[in-house]
Structure 1
Amino acid sequence: MTDNFQDQYSKFLYIWFGQFISIIGTGLTIFALGVYVYQLTGTASSYVFILMCAFLPPILLKPYGGILADRHDRRIMMVFGDLGSTLGLLFIFFMMVKGNIELWQVYLGISVSSIFSAFQEPAYKALVTDLLTRDQYAKASGLMQLASSAQYLLSPLLAGVLLSLLDIKFIFLIDVSTLLIASFIVIWIRNILGEIPVNRQETNFMEEFKEGFQEFSKNTGVVHLVITTMIILFFVGLLQSLFVPMLLNLESVKTVGISQSLCASGMIIGSLFIGIFGSRSGHVTMLSIALFLSGLFFAGLGLSANIILITLAGFLFFAMLPFINTPIEVLIRTNIDNQKQGRVWSIISTTTYVGSILAFAVAGFLADALFDPLLKPDGVLADSIGFLIGTGSGRGIAFMFIVAGLMISIISLFIWKNSRIKRLEDVEKQNRVMSLQL
């Protein structure tokens, strides 16, 4: 029986590798299109709209993707999502080859590609429960986070090099190739393992969505964890939106790029640690400690104008993220009915990413209209907070990071004292004991 579980894990690793390279390909496209549109228009709004086209459709459609992931073979859903994503990329490619491509065509193509990803991600997350044992969840979660972080660590570096050697059109072909490879791997594994039984109930989408929402909302501990994740993603969204503007007031573009890559490498280290060693117990404790430390490191981003200290704080912050994401995923996964995991994960994903969308919507206003004026040389806080962290352009953003970091640390205390969240771990421990007895 153990050998069979190990064989299942090895098959998961093949699927994970395919998704790993496809995520890198997606990162190449997003980075390249962002640079292309910004150079074409010279406006930040056009760059932000690329991000919205890439991330908003999946957020809105994931509940439907989750329902389909529970209704059909999750591997087929992954292939459907990956192959469908190539359509938008090929549309942009052919429009560029034709010449005189317009912005609306770029936005349309990236939107079509992202729409199909809404059907892929819930199926991928739910497939973990189909293939692996409970003791393997944490390792799988760490590896999946490793793949996700590659989009921010490897893709910008690779895209920067490739754009200096190749025309942007070939970036899309590279992305298409990675999606095809990922699809072929999933099809190959499906042929080896055969079909996985699916509970197909003759219900409509709204009924299944309602069932998924009821499964999600009936456990208050799960609800509290999801709300916590949404708040964390709001603060991370502020970092994503404002980190580069803050650094550009201090250093050159090249130095900013290097700093970004070094900060993102922290997530790689944390994900590798969990992927290799796993995490079998103490998930609430791990989550609370990691949140508290990450808040301190987040605040550290704003305490100094020295690029070395900022990069070190950023590295440590991102290194903590896998130790936050893993216990959240494990605690939720072990408290949700497997037959409803696809639709529940889609609801959870949609809910949590509201935090990021809100951050993108308000970050510019908060920085330009509120925090930056406070830290101008003649600002209200110039002689108090400004004495500690400095005044001038970008120091208002630094103050935002300090406030956001302290808020995250306060949230960790809420997690530590939350009895409902602690009960999630009791259920997980019971399930692990039962699994060992079997």
Structure 2
Amino acid sequence: MLADISPLREHADFRRLWFGNGISAIGQQMTAMAVALQVYAITGSSFYVGLVGLCSLVPLIVFGLYGGAVADAVDRRRLGMTTAFGATALSAALAALAILHVHKVWPLYTVVALQAVCFAMNSPARSSMIPRLLPAEKLPAANALASMAGGVEQMAGPMLGGVFVGFWGYQSAYLIDVVAFTASLYAMWRLPAMLPGDDGEPGSGAPAVRRRPSVTEGLRYLAARPNLRTTFISDLAAMVLAQPRVLFPALAALWYGGGSRTVGLLTAATAVGALIGGVFSGWLERVNRQGFAVLIAIASWGAAMTVFGLTHDLLLGLLLLGLAGCADTVSMVFRNTMLQSAAPDDMRGRLQGVFLVVVVGGPRLGDFLAGSASDIFTPTVAIVGGGLACVVAITLIGLLQRSFVRYDARTPVA
């Protein structure tokens, strides 16, 4: 029932990287929260807060698709350190803008876009380091630890960001992010060179394979594999249609009479649910109809968001967001498992690039859609309509992709 922590005990490089990335990720979440609050304070509009997500979306799509290919052609340690240092400098730039009281949104949008470039190049590099640091039998435990760390980051980062902004201003969150990045930089500095190898085994030291990266080949493969393709489409149904986080600053003020600390609680509630779902995930190993489970989990997400939009009680709202986060964890576990087991090894890197674009870019597109709908109609219409649209979309996906409903983990078919 509980996570295996032996990778942390037995492998110092992985332990440093896990802790370093976790601390840095909390700082990044604090920065994301502070930027949303600052844009809303300047403009008073959820639409402009939604534009923050759109500014991240384009760089993530462009550079995310090629990030995995670049990570397979250069020293991953050097790439990770370079992009992490760039993200550190950008957080320092945000702090400077806040200290100088620059009341314009376009500098914030510019920095956010550049941060998305750094993240899109850094994430595949960091992910591809893990198989070189651990034996193959420890990779499932390492991925479980990464999932649990992600829940803590999503829970603690926004909540701390809201608290620090509320007490000490936007610059406090940005400066903490700058300091937090040093943990990740130190962890990668202690690593050996990570040149791509032929087998990807720990310590292989194999020479890099020099070839022209081909993103289109991976996309063609994905287009011809209905089950793998549906894992991405189903996630987009949830993240694009029923993603209300961009509305949290407005909801805190209009529904709950709160401020930045209430925004932090709303954002953290989903992460708390995801963390609980990860801690008590032992039963998932006994589920073989993984495609059907993905559809049920995403429909549950949409239903929870629909009810959330109908209530203005803070405690009930937090509970519903927590249930949605738990459903998201179930969906994520099965989608990742299907991607890892049904796809051949020589395609997993390029599919991981698509995975990054969908998982990170989808919610940002959802931010833009929810912010626009809220300004055109009302926050209630945006949230309830999005939740219902998610349930309808996932039902149609199940009806149209019968092979996905029948997918059996004992005989995985892409």
Please report the TM-score for the alignment, with normalisation by the length of structure 1.
0.75
Q: Give the deviation of 1:129 after TM superposition.
A: 4.7
Q: Which residue of 2 aligns with 1:432?
A: none
Q: Give the deviation of 1:163 after TM superposition.
A: 3.0
Q: Give the deviation of 1:354 after TM superposition.
A: 5.5
The one-letter amino acid paired with 1:335 is A
Which deviations, in whole Å up to 9, do the C-alpha atoms of 1:178-235 show, x marking residues without a partner? Answer: 22211221332437965654651332x4xx2223324433433211212222222213
Q: Which residue of 1 aligns with 2:157?
A: 155
In 1, distance between residues paired with 2:325 and 2:165? 27
Gap runs ≥5 in structure 1: 373-392, 429-438
Q: Which residue of 1 aligns with 2:353?
A: 346
In 2, distance between residues paired with 1:280 and 1:129? 26
The one-letter amino acid paired with 1:341 is R
- For residues 308-347 of structure 1, the aligned pairs below 5 Å read 308-347=315-354
Percent identity of paired positions between Structure 1 and Structure 2: 18
- Matched-pair contact (CA < 8 Å) for 1:296–1:409: no
- For residues 197-208 of structure 1, the aligned pairs below 5 Å read 197=206, 199-203=208-212, 205=213, 208=214
Within the alignment, does 1:251 sit opposite 2:251 as a pair? no
RMSD of Structure 2 on Structure 1 (CA): 3.8
The one-letter amino acid paired with 1:201 is R
Match of 2:232 among 216, 222, 226: 226
User: Equivalent residue of 2:211, what SS?
Assistant: coil
Tell which structure's C-alpha radius of gyration is larger.
1
Match of 2:18 among 16, 19, 40: 16
> CA, structure 1 residues 104+73, in 2 after alignment: closer, same or farther (shift >3 Å)?
same
Within the alignment, does 1:143 sit opposite 2:145 as a pair? yes
In 2, distance between residues paired with 1:350 and 1:48? 18
Within the alignment, does 1:418 sit opposite 2:368 as a pair? no
Within the alignment, does 1:184 sit opposite 2:186 as a pair? yes
- For residues 105-184 of structure 1, the aligned pairs below 5 Å read 105-131=107-133, 138-166=140-168, 168-184=170-186
The one-letter amino acid paired with 1:250 is W
Gap runs ≥5 in structure 2: 1-5, 195-201
> CA, structure 1 residues 107+297, in 2 after alignment: closer, same or farther (shift >3 Å)?
closer
- Matched-pair contact (CA < 8 Å) for 1:287–1:328: yes
In 2, distance between residues paired with 1:213 and 1:198? 27
The one-letter amino acid paired with 1:63 is L
In 2, distance between residues paired with 1:225 and 1:396? 28
> CA, structure 1 residues 23+415, in 2 after alignment: closer, same or farther (shift >3 Å)?
farther
In 2, distance between residues paired with 1:310 and 1:165? 25
Q: Which residue of 1 aligns with 2:92?
A: 90
- Matched-pair contact (CA < 8 Å) for 1:27–1:151: yes
Q: Give the deviation of 1:11 after TM superposition.
A: 4.5
Q: Give the deviation of 1:22 after TM superposition.
A: 1.0
Q: Give the deviation of 1:30 after TM superposition.
A: 1.9
In 2, distance between residues paired with 1:182 and 1:171? 17
In 2, distance between residues paired with 1:6 and 1:278? 23
Q: Which residue of 2 aligns with 1:66?
A: 68
Which deviations, in whole Å up to 9, do the C-alpha atoms of 1:49-73 show, x marking residues without a partner? Answer: 3333344422321112111122234
- Matched-pair contact (CA < 8 Å) for 2:30–2:161: yes
Q: Which residue of 2 aligns with 1:241?
A: 246
The worse-fitting range, judged by mean Cα deviation, of 170-179 and 318-327 is 170-179
Please report the TM-score for the alignment, with normalisation by the length of structure 2.
0.79
Aligned residue pairs total 399
User: Equivalent residue of 1:426, what SS?
Assistant: coil
Which deviations, in whole Å up to 9, do the C-alpha atoms of 1:340-397 show, x marking residues without a partner? Answer: 433321123324555435433433454455xx5xxxxxxxxxxxxxxxxxxxx65434
Q: Give the deviation of 1:321 after TM superposition.
A: 0.9
Q: Which residue of 1 aligns with 2:294?
A: 287
In 2, distance between residues paired with 1:214 and 1:90? 40
- Matched-pair contact (CA < 8 Å) for 2:303–2:388: no
Which deviations, in whole Å up to 9, do the C-alpha atoms of 1:34-53 show, x marking residues without a partner? Answer: 33343344444443333333
The one-letter amino acid paired with 1:50 is V
In 2, distance between residues paired with 1:416 and 1:10? 44
In 2, distance between residues paired with 1:177 and 1:215? 42
> CA, structure 1 residues 290+412, in 2 after alignment: closer, same or farther (shift >3 Å)?
farther
In 2, distance between residues paired with 1:419 and 1:168? 45
The one-letter amino acid paired with 1:21 is I
The worse-fitting range, judged by mean Cα deviation, of 254-263 and 174-183 is 254-263
Q: Which residue of 1 aligns with 2:219?
A: 213
Within the alignment, does 1:261 sit opposite 2:268 as a pair? yes
> CA, structure 1 residues 341+76, in 2 after alignment: closer, same or farther (shift >3 Å)?
farther
Match of 2:280 among 273, 292, 298: 273
The worse-fitting range, judged by mean Cα deviation, of 220-229 and 192-201 is 192-201
The one-letter amino acid paired with 2:175 is L
- Matched-pair contact (CA < 8 Å) for 1:9–1:132: yes
